[in-house]
Amino acid sequence: MIADSHQEWQKADSFYEVASGLTTKPASVLNNWGYSKLSRGDYADAEKLFADAIRQDPKLFTAKNNLVLARGAQGNYALPVMQMTQIERAELLQTLGLAAVKRGDVEIGKGLLRDALETHPQHFEAAARALDALEGTVTN
């Protein structure tokens, strides 16, 4: 992580690779390595690392969310095939919606936020607020 903070990417990648090989449960290391790649703008490599992390630990929601961020940053707004609960699906759709808006794909983002609202088994306040803001229907 120190190499990351100093933007010494080759050194950081080397450390992550060694660390992932030294543990029997590398999911969190792969997720951190993926986040490092994501923050550098290396979305394709980040996506691969997050997918590997999820294969190692299918319950690691942080890696699922990061995977969706990496895909959204590349303009891929389809949820990947992976194990997820209904609530996780709604939260991931919200993440994709916000990523779409950030890329300027506002209508796609609105649609994904609507999907998140419909998917969530309860009222999903965060998605509702984001959609209201995009549609200009925010009231105080």
pLDDT in tens, 39-67: 999 999 999 999 999 999 999 999 999 99
End-to-end CA distance of the chain: 42
- For the cut 90, the answer to whether the pLDDT of residue 2 exceeds it is no
pLDDT of residue 139: 55
pLDDT at 137 over 90: no
pLDDT digits (tens, 9 = 90+) for 117-133: 999 988 899 999 999 99
Distance of CA 42 to the CA centre of its chain: 14
CA distance 67 to 64: 5
pLDDT in tens, 83-108: 999 999 999 999 999 999 999 999 99
Single out the residue of 11, 60, 88, 86 nearest to residue 2, CA to CA.
11
Domains of the chain are 1-78 (1.25.40.10), 84-140 (no CATH)
pLDDT band at 8 (very low <50, low <70, confident <90, very high): confident
